[in-house]
Amino acid sequence: MARREFSKAVQRAAFHRAQGRCEGQLADGDRCPCSLTPAKFAYDHIVPDALGGEPILSNCQVLCMLCHAKKTRADVARISKANRSWDRHHGIADPHRRKIQSRGFPKAPPQRAATRPLQRWLDTAELDPFEEALPDP
């Protein structure tokens, strides 16, 4: 599907709404302080076009280049993940990719009882060098 850009009317309305300032949000939740200098901002799809975002005013924000680069980086990751997920759901896989072959774990010897014999536990207790250091109750 072809990319759907914002119409001139939507860009005009978004620019007026921004009132000359970047509409990006900083990490602390504040609005980006950058002012919009000519040719150094972009009209950004809040929900990316590739993820079904409509080219309408409510899905448009005016961002400075720094904010736009950051948003694009996050969008690319989201879109890639969505594509991988879609591929996996529809059984689309790289034909040259194989699962990692490992030797696996050796087989455990057959277990004869649920717990170890009590005698064995008593043997190790007798060999305990700290046994005598404990005070008698």
Q: Which helix (H) or strand (E) segment is 14 a member of? A: helix 8-18
Give the rounded distance of the alpha carbon of 81 from its chain centre.
8
Residue of 22, 36, 60, 62 interacting with Zn ion (CB under 5 A): 22
Residue of 13, 32, 79, 82 interacting with Zn ion (CB under 5 A): 32
Do residues 9 and 55 make contact, with C-beta atoms less than 8 angstroms apart?
no
With 0-12 CB in 10 A as exposed, 13-18 as middle and 19+ as buried, what is 32? middle
Residue of 24, 48, 49, 75 interacting with Zn ion (CB under 5 A): 24
What's the min distance (Å) between Cβ of 63 and Zn ion? 6
| Residue 21, SS3 per DSSP | strand
User: Looking at 31-39, 81-89, 96-104, 126-134, which segment touches Zn ion (CB under 5 A)?
Assistant: 31-39
Q: Give the footprint of Zn ion on residues 44-73 (CB under 5 A).
A: 64, 67
What's the min distance (Å) between Cβ of 66 and Zn ion? 5
What contacts 131, CB < 8 A, 6 or more positions away? 125
Q: Give the footprint of Zn ion on residues 76-105 (CB under 5 A).
A: none
Q: Nearer to Zn ion by C-beta: 10 or 18?
A: 18
Do residues 49 and 55 make contact, with C-beta atoms less than 8 angstroms apart?
yes
**Under rule CB under 5 A, residue 34 binds Zn ion:** yes
Footprint on this chain of Zn ion (rule: CB under 5 A)? 22, 24, 32, 34, 64, 67
